[in-house]
Structure 1
Amino acid sequence: MLYYLFRFLDQFGIPGSHIWSYISFRALLALILSLVISAWFGEKFIKFLKKKQITETQRDKAIDPFGIKKTGVPSMGGVIIIIAILLPIILLGRMRNIYLILMIITTVWLGVLGGLDDYIKIFRHDKEGLKGKFKIVGQVGLGLIVGIVLYLSPDAKIRENVAMEKTQTQELVVKHRSEATKSLKTTIPFVKGHNLDYSDMMAFFGKYKTAAGWILFVVMTIFVVTAVSNGANLNDGMDGMCAGVSAIIGVALGIFAYVSSHIEFASYLNIMYIPGSQELVVFLCAFVGALIGFLWYNAYPAQIFMGDTGSLTIGGIIAVGAIIIHKELMLPILCGIFFVESLSVMMQVWYYKMGKRRGIRQRIFRRTPIHDAFRTQDSQLDPDCRYLIKGSGNVVHESKITIRFWIVTIILAAMTIITLKIR
Structure 2
Amino acid sequence: MLYNLLVPLSDVWGILNVFRYITFRTAYATLTALVITLIIAPFVIRKLKEMAFSMKSKGFEPATHKVKEGTPTMGGIMIVIAGTVSTLLWADLTNPYIWITIFTFVSYGVIGFVDDYIKTVKRNPKGLKARAKFWGQVFTGVIAIALIIYVDKGKTATVVALPFLKTAVIDLSIFYFVFALFVIVGTSNAVNITDGLDGLAIAPSVISFGTLCFFVYFTGHSEFSHYLNIIYVKGSGELAVFCGAMVGAGLGFLWYNAFPASVFMGDVGSLSIGGAMGIVSVISKHEVVLAIVGGVFVIETVSVILQVGFYKATHGKRLFRMAPIHHHFELKGWSETKITVRFWIISFVLALIALSTLKLR
User: Structure 1 length normalisation: TM-score?
Assistant: 0.82
| SS at structure 2 position matched to 1:192 | coil
Aligned partner letter, 1:187? A
Distance 1:418 1:315 in 2: 23
Q: Which residue number in structure 2 is paired with residue 270 of structure 1?
A: 229
1:285 and 1:64, CA in 2 relative to 1: closer, same or farther beyond 3 A?
A: farther
Q: Which residue number in structure 1 is paired with residue 38 of structure 2?
A: 39
Distance 2:157 2:107 in 1: 26
Matched, 1:18 2:6: no
Q: Which residue number in structure 1 is paired with residue 337 of structure 2?
A: 399
Distance 2:62 2:38 in 1: 27
Matched, 1:372 2:327: yes
| SS at structure 2 position matched to 1:186 | strand
Q: Which residue number in structure 1 is paired with residue 109 of structure 2?
A: 111
* Contact in 1 for aligned 2:110/2:268 (Cα 8 Å): yes
Matched, 1:363 2:318: yes
343, 353, 359: which one aligns with 1:415: 353
Deviation at 1:295, TM superposition (A): 0.2
Deviation at 1:89, TM superposition (A): 1.3
Q: Which residue number in structure 2 is paired with residue 75 of structure 1?
A: 73
Unaligned stretches of 5+ residues in structure 1: 159-180, 199-212, 377-392
315, 333, 341: which one aligns with 2:300: 341
Q: Which residue number in structure 2 is paired with residue 246 of structure 1?
A: 205
Unaligned stretches of 5+ residues in structure 2: none
Q: Which residue number in structure 2 is paired with residue 316 of structure 1?
A: 275
185, 189, 193: which one aligns with 2:163: 189
Q: Name whichever of 261-270 and 126-135 sits farther off.
A: 261-270
Aligned partner letter, 1:332? A
Q: Which residue number in structure 2 is paired with residue 229 of structure 1?
A: 188
| SS at structure 1 position matched to 2:25 | helix
| SS at structure 2 position matched to 1:362 | coil
1:60 and 1:368, CA in 2 relative to 1: closer, same or farther beyond 3 A?
A: closer
Deviation at 1:140, TM superposition (A): 1.1
Larger gyration radius, structure 1 or structure 2: 1
Q: Which residue number in structure 1 is paired with residue 93 of structure 2?
A: 95
Matched, 1:6 2:11: no
Deviation at 1:3, TM superposition (A): 1.6
Q: Name whichever of 137-146 and 230-239 sits farther off.
A: 137-146
Aligned partner letter, 2:245? A
Deviation at 1:194, TM superposition (A): 3.6
Identity %: 39
* Contact in 1 for aligned 2:57/2:69 (Cα 8 Å): no
User: Structure 2 length normalisation: TM-score?
Assistant: 0.95
Deviation at 1:196, TM superposition (A): 2.2
Deviation at 1:280, TM superposition (A): 0.2
Distance 1:182 1:372 in 2: 41
Distance 1:366 1:403 in 2: 21
| SS at structure 1 position matched to 2:57 | helix
* Contact in 1 for aligned 2:104/2:275 (Cα 8 Å): yes
Aligned partner letter, 1:143? G
What CA RMSD, in Å, does the superposition of the two structures yield over aligned residues?
1.8
* Contact in 2 for aligned 1:233/1:315 (Cα 8 Å): yes
Distance 1:263 1:4 in 2: 22
Q: Name whichever of 325-334 and 246-255 sits farther off.
A: 325-334
Distance 2:25 2:153 in 1: 23
Deviation at 1:107, TM superposition (A): 1.1
Q: Which residue number in structure 2 is paired with residue 287 of structure 1?
A: 246
1:127 and 1:284, CA in 2 relative to 1: closer, same or farther beyond 3 A?
A: same
Aligned partner letter, 1:3? Y
1:322-347, Cα deviation, whole Å (9 max, x unpaired): 00000112222222111111111111
Q: Which residue number in structure 2 is paired with residue 176 of structure 1?
A: none
| SS at structure 1 position matched to 2:160 | strand
Aligned partner letter, 1:193? T
Q: Which residue number in structure 1 is paired with residue 125 of structure 2?
A: 127
1:129-168, Cα deviation, whole Å (9 max, x unpaired): 0111111101111221122112222xx269xxxxxxxxxx
Structure with the higher fraction of residues in helix conformation: 2
Distance 2:9 2:271 in 1: 39
Deviation at 1:408, TM superposition (A): 0.5
1:59 and 1:16, CA in 2 relative to 1: closer, same or farther beyond 3 A?
A: farther
Matched, 1:151 2:149: yes
Matched, 1:49 2:48: yes
Deviation at 1:187, TM superposition (A): 1.9
- Counterparts of 1:51-66 in structure 2, within 5 Å, are 51-58=50-57, 63=62, 65=64
* Contact in 2 for aligned 1:184/1:217 (Cα 8 Å): yes
Matched, 1:354 2:341: no
Distance 1:273 1:61 in 2: 46
1:398 and 1:150, CA in 2 relative to 1: closer, same or farther beyond 3 A?
A: same
